[in-house]
Chains A and B, each alone.
Chain A
Amino acid sequence: MQQIVNFIIRYKNALLYVGLLAIALGFTIQSHSYHHSKFFNSSSWISGSLYQISTDISSYFTLRTENKILLDENKRLRYILFNTNRSDSTAIDTAQVNYAIISGSVIKNNFNSPRNYITINKGAKHGIRQDMGVITSQGILGIVEDTSSKFAMVQSILNTKSNINAKIQNTNFFGSLIWDGKSYTTVQLIDIPRLVPLKVGDTIVTGAMSSIFPENIPIGTIKAFDLNTSQSFYQIDVTLFNNMADIKSIYVISNKDKAEILELQSRITDE
């Protein structure tokens, strides 16, 4: 007994180190294989509030460019509105609306680690739930991964765990959008069959396969493409429309039919 106590006293620093290291490694490895840890995220109350203060100050410096981006978007939307043949006075029946949109802004953005997360200033209180899609006026941004009452954490498309259904515009050939972790302007589209005619510069949009994003939200353009090792599928580099280093205003999309779709799908897999 005496020797055990002596041993613990003599090696107390080493034991402390091993204990703390085990805790830290445990959190890291568990989150690598599973879900992002509940404890280590910036959507918690204290870090969210601090980031909110910091954003409140720094956002003043970009007001002019933000204004211009919003004006451009409004211009584009007005153009579409004036050129469709529906009279403006038709009331939109809320019972027939599929998608609800919540606007917000980014308070913390990351783009240079292999697993990037973005924190936004809207949370469960504003109706945001896990697995909602997040877009900007230019293209898609990511998927909500975790929420607190006032903030939400978004898994960016610049995340090696991200996997989003995408297709080539005006066709129905779809594949998966992933990221290899190398450059923050480029993502990869895989699983497009070899018979599809491709051209550099073609537009990539979201596909209809997911219940998270509506169809035809822009993602980017083809930068280069090549056949993969099995020679049967393309590996396509996609240049993003979004400048991922400079994102301020975002929209969160919630799909009203999602519960129904998921329920239907789970019923089929059960049987």
Chain B
Amino acid sequence: MNRNTNLINILRFVLLAMAQIFVFNNFNFFGFINPMIYVLFLYWYPIKENKAIFILLSFLLGLTIDIFSDTLAIHTTATVSIAYFRPTIMRFCFGVNYEFQSFKLSNTTRAQQITFLALLIIVHHLIFFMLEIFSFANFLLILKKVFAVGSISFVLCLLFSSLFSVRRP
């Protein structure tokens, strides 16, 4: 069971990174929208696993994507931050009961899952574009990019998560 989970996580890591680098970084919808679907890794990652390993894995995922897309370490910063704040976001979305042993992402309501995913994407994109543009003089540009890219990322992540959904009992 445990080995199985590890294998699935490694597969997800590699496939999401490759999809991001070779497909979604060349998306260029309207000339500037490149959705970031690798946030799904953090959405799917099991809750019960060791948190330190989770943060390290997110760091590596961000670094991989940074190296391939020449973006300094911006993806890394954004990904590590949401990895650290994920428990807080989960407590906000699912209430205290997400800490119970029997809690599973597939048992929660659709609305809760959507809020969780949307919050992850918004926080991630906000950090990413603030660092990318790196000036508060262009705050409107940051907001425009967060909104435009974020909504496309959200729709695509939603599609992916229902396509490869965890088996419902």
Contact = CB atoms under 8 A, between A and B. Distances in A.
Contact of B72 (A27, A42, A108, A111): A27
Contacts of A147: none
B49 to A, nearest CB: 12
Interface of B: 21-22, 25, 28, 31-34, 51-52, 55-56, 59, 62, 66-74, 76-77, 80-81, 83-84, 131-134, 138, 141
A114 B72 contact: no
A181 B67 contact: no
Residue of B56, B68, B72 with highest tally of chain A CB at under 10 A: B72
A112 B34 contact: yes
Contact of A32 (B28, B62, B83, B134): B134
Contact of A40 (B25, B70, B81): B70
Chain B, interface SS category = helix
A190 B73 CA distance: 31
Q: When A and B form their complex, which 6 residue pairs have the shortest distance between CB atoms, in order from nearest?
A: A27-B73, A17-B84, A117-B70, A112-B32, A24-B77, A24-B76
Interface of A: 12-14, 16-17, 20-21, 23-28, 31-32, 36-37, 39-42, 44, 47, 50-51, 54, 108, 110-115, 117, 119, 153, 181-184, 245
Contacts of B73: 23-28, 37, 40
A37 B56 contact: no
B52 A40 contact: no
Contact of B84 (A13, A23, A40, A112): A13
Given A47-B67, A54-B22, A112-B28, A21 B77 contact: yes
Contacts of A111: 28, 31
B52 A113 contact: no
